[in-house]
Amino acid sequence: MLRRAALTLAAFLAIGAHAFAQDAEPVMAQIPAHPALWTVHGPKGTAYLFGSIHALPPEVDWHTKEIDTAMAKADVLVFELAMDEGFKERVQAYVRERGTLPPGQHLRELLTPDTRKEFDADIADLGIAPAAVDRMRPWLAALTIDVADMQKHGYSAKSGIENQLQGSDSKDTRPVIGLETVEQQLALLAPADLKTELQSFEATLKTEGHSSGEQVGPLLDAWIHGDVKRLDKLMGRDLARYPKARKLLLDDRNRAWVVKISELLNTDKTYFITVGAAHLGGPHGVPNLLRAKGFRVDGP
C-alpha cells in the first residue's frame, strides 16, 4: 500500500472496522484551517466540492464561513462512502471474510528474516500485541499498523471530516449519497493475490517503516492552507514511480465519480460533495475533469 495515497482511505475505513479503541481527546488550542472549496454549476443543479483529510488531529478547525455557507445551502450530502446503518456491518463482514490468512498460516512466519525484524520492531513500538496481527492478511496488518501509528502522531479517524459530518454523533438529517461502496474501497487495499500482497507489505516495511503519521504531516499542512498545487505536487511525487497505482487509486476513480456527479448536476438540487483532497487537484482531478465536460467550475 502506498502510504500517502491509501493511508487516509484506510483510516476512514477503520471507523467501520472497530479495530481501535478511541481514547478521550485532549482539549487543545484550535488550529484554524482554510481548505479549498470549488463550486460546480450544472444545467439544473449546483455542487460544492470539498477536499477532506479522512483522519485529523482533533484541534484542527476547518469550519470557514465559505464552507459553512455552502454546507447550509446543500439539499444532499455526498461522500466517497455513505456511512449508513449498514456501513460498519459491511466493513466488519469484509474483514471477517478476507482479512484472515488461510488455516495454518501465520503472518510473521511468511516474512523474510530481515522483514520479520522490522515487523517485530514496529508492532512493539506501537504497542500492538503480536497475537492481534498473527493471523491477519498483510493488507489488514498494514491497516492496523498504519492507523495505530497515525494515532501515535495525534491523528484520529474520529476527528476526520467524514466522521464529523455523517458519523454517529452527527445530527444532520439530510439525504446522503455514496459515490462508492464499502466493497469497492476495501478492494483497493486487499488485492486478490496473496503473494503480491505479501511482497507489497514487505517492501513497505523495509523502505518506509511505520512513518505514516509523519508522512501525512506535509499533506495536512498543504490542506490547512488551501494550497491545492502543493497538495497535488506531494501526491504526484510519490505516485510518479507507481503509474499503475495512481491509475487505480486516483485517476480511474475520479473518472467514475465525474460520471455520477454529472448526473447529479442534471437534477434541481444543491449538493455538498466531500471526497479525499488528493482527488481534486491537478489536470486529472475532479474539478478539471468536470471543466472538460463543459461544466463551469469556480474555485482555486
Domain range for 188 is 3-18+30-298
Angle between helices 138-152 and 194-208 (to 10 degrees): 30
Is residue 25 situated within a structural domain? no
Q: For the segment 155-175, what is each residue's pLDDT rounded down to a tens digit? A: 877 778 888 888 767 788 899
Distance CA 144, CA 152 (A): 12
Q: For the segment 242-282, what is each residue's pLDDT rounded down to a tens digit? A: 677 788 888 999 999 999 999 999 999 999 999 999 899 99
What does the block give as the cell for 292? Answer: 472538460
Total structural domains within the chain: 1
| DSSP β-bridge partners for residue 48 | 39, 272
Is residue 218 situated within a structural domain? yes
pTM attached to this predicted model: 0.84
Is residue 24 situated within a structural domain? no
